[in-house]
Structure 1
Amino acid sequence: MGERILIAFNRTRERTVAAKTRVADTPASRAVGLLGRDGLGPEEGLWIVPCAMIHTVGMRFPIDVLFLDREGRVRRVISDLKPWRLSPWVWAAHSVLELAGGTLRGSVQAGDRIEFDG
């Protein structure tokens, strides 16, 4: 089976968050995540399912992070999480959407609903 690419869409604000969102939903793909990459483009994202906490150990660039519950509601937003950091554990989160650092700039807020389509 090939790599799945989806569109992450903010239904609350009616705007695309990431047009090219890779899905990491296996133990191997979740473990690798964004390691080994030099960055993400402005339209790229990584959706990690299931996930309630992340780290950026070994990463080369900062990321913006959305913690989503099972319904796709944003439970927490972290902007510009630097390399070699740990996020808090977000108990209500079921998945995480990782984006290039600086992508969000306040455009997504807690309570917004993110949908994935592809």
Structure 2
Amino acid sequence: MIYKIINKSKDKVISQTAFIARSFFSRLLGLMFRKSIAEDEALVFYHAPSIHTFFMRFPIDIVFLDKNMRVMKIYPALKPWKLAICLHSLLTLEFPPHKVSQTTTKVGDILELIPISAKDSLLP
């Protein structure tokens, strides 16, 4: 499935093309070893209270959501070889650097994932 991510609190689209990392390998690899992430792309992880940027070549914005899709914590432009943690989060979102600030997304905002295509993601 491909999703659109919307900030319902601000009525803004954050990502037009969000993929859910479902398999062991897509969760393990995430964005590692990629040269970049597209401006409208995002990666979604379920039950991942910590994310690392080991072996990454570029910074990313990280957003942790609770069970109500409320933003719990934001790590803006997290550089390679760093760790982001938010205990008790349900979803973790990875965006291109500065995407969160460009969309004025803040802690406490409510986000929504809207299915836009039944096509399988590009991730294994």
Q: What TM-score results when the alignment is normalised by the length of structure 1?
A: 0.91
CA RMSD across the alignment: 1.1
Shift of 1:7: 0.3
Number of the residue aligned with 2:101: 105
Number of the residue aligned with 2:121: none
* Corresponding residue pairs, total: 114
Matches within 5 A, 1:1-118: 4-87=1-84, 89-105=85-101, 107-118=104-115
Secondary structure in structure 2 of the residue aligned to 1:57: coil
Q: What TM-score results when the alignment is normalised by the length of structure 2?
A: 0.87
Q: Distance in 2 between matches of 1:43 and 1:110?
A: 21
Q: Which amino acid aligns with 2:96?
A: A
Unaligned runs of 5+ in 2: 116-124
Secondary structure in structure 2 of the residue aligned to 1:108: coil
Q: Deviations over 1:52-78 (max 9, x none)?
A: 110000000000010011111100011
Considering Cα pairs closer than 8 Å and 6+ residues apart, tell me whether 1 or 2 has the greater RCO. 2
Unaligned runs of 5+ in 1: none
**Matched residues, percent identical?**
30
Deviates more, 1:38-47 or 1:100-109: 100-109
Secondary structure in structure 2 of the residue aligned to 1:76: strand
Q: Which has the higher strand share?
A: 2
Poorly superposed stretches of 4+, deviation over 3 Å: none
Q: Which amino acid aligns with 2:58?
A: F
